[in-house]
Amino acid sequence: MRGVLRVCRSPRGKLLLNLAVGVLAIGISILAARHFAGVGWPFAGADVRLVAAAGFLFLLAYAFKAYGWHRLFAPHERPRPLTLAASCGAASVTGAALPGRFDDVVRIAVVRRATGGRAGVAPVCLSLFMLGLVDTAALMPLASTAAATADTSGAVRAGMGIVAFAGFGAAVVIAVLPRLVASGRLIRFRIARWLGDRSVNPRDAWQAWVLVLASWLTRVFGLFLLLHAAGFSLSLPLAMLFLCAAAASGALPIAPAGAATQVGAGAAILIATGVGTGEAVAFAVGAQALVILAGAAVLLFAGLWHGGRRLTAARVSS
């Protein structure tokens, strides 16, 4: 493992790694283009203005998520929000082909690359763990609202109840973890002291929860517009059900592919509410593709921004 890391850190290793990521991204784009060329774009006959508005909301959701994640780092270790947004966009793009939970590896790699290695692996992993808890806690009001208001079966309501209960448990862990780490029995251990220096205080945790909730709500309204654009009845609870199902499936430790699992979960929810199988799958695929395109746009913008800054700095120094 040390040999592999040493090779990856060398100039030739970095070049090969960048080329591999580029080839993977191009391959995914080609496969997606071939797929949609064969079956057609799911929103081909939809209102273009509504689809564009939904895409903009998905872009905005990345920004809210990045600022929420930013609050989960220690103040002296926080990367730029644009770097975190780019890592989320890269994870979304590669999630179309990589197995579930590999998106966290992509996030870590992008943050490390964008910060020049200044962001340690351990702090980034800790922030991702906390982000997972905050994500789950932020889904609690959405899942409980969808379970109470959606016109669906008891099994779907029970599933939303499980998501809401998991969110409540995550909120409890977020509230208890700093006190547990600072307890007298654990503070004598080195890892407890390290966690204590990087534990999220209640104010930052609350701000992160609000920002992540805003990200989920923005996604919900984007899905609401997409449902209307695709000809479905206007139903905000249905958009919440779709989002909660896709987000909950993304938390699975092992899955064939992150995006494919979320598409399957979203389509299953639509089918359970009475939507035809073909329409449900087409909408789920189109919605996930739009999310991936938004992530690719964020990644491209971040790359151009960082490249422009480096070029400006090189001109000034010369």
Per residue, the 3-state secondary structure of 149-180, as one string, reads HCCCCHHHHHHHHHHHHHHHHHHHHHHHHHHH
What CA–CA distance (Å, rounded) separates 51 from 248?
Answer: 24
Of residues 211 and 290, more confidence is placed in: 211
Kindly tell me the burial class for residue 304, based on how many C-beta atoms sit within 10 Å of its own C-beta (0-12, 13-18, 19 or more): exposed
- 198 pLDDT more than 70: no
CA 259, 262, 266, 271 dihedral sign is positive
What CA–CA distance (Å, rounded) separates 67 from 88?
Answer: 12
Radius of gyration of the chain (CA): 21
Confidence class for position 300, pLDDT limits 50, 70, 90 = confident
- pTM beyond 0.75, yes or no: yes
What CA–CA distance (Å, rounded) separates 270 from 283?
Answer: 9
Of residues 144 and 184, more confidence is placed in: 144
Do residues 127 and 91 lie in contact, with contact meaning Cβ atoms separated by under 8 Å? no
Segment 23-37 mean pLDDT: 56
Kindly report the number of other CB atoms within 10 A of residue 119's CB atom.
Answer: 21
Q: Which of 41-50, 180-189, 211-220 has the highest mean pLDDT?
A: 211-220
Can you list the positions of beta strands (E) in the chain? none
The pLDDT of residue 121: 76
The pLDDT of residue 223: 93
What CA–CA distance (Å, rounded) separates 196 from 215?
Answer: 28
Domain boundaries along the sequence of the chain: 80-317
What CA–CA distance (Å, rounded) separates 297 from 181?
Answer: 39
Angle, alpha carbons 210-215-220 (nearest 5°) = 120
- What is the H or E stretch that residue 244 is in? helix 236-249
Task: Find, among 93, 212, 150, the residue nearest to 158 by Cα.
Answer: 150
Report pLDDT digits (tens) over 53-62.
999 999 999 9
What CA–CA distance (Å, rounded) separates 25 from 90?
Answer: 9
- 104 pLDDT more than 90: no
Distances (CA, A) of 20 to 26, 88, 184: 10, 19, 48
Structure tokens at 96: 């179309």
Confidence class for position 202, pLDDT limits 50, 70, 90 = confident
Mean pLDDT of the chain: 78
The pLDDT of residue 102: 75
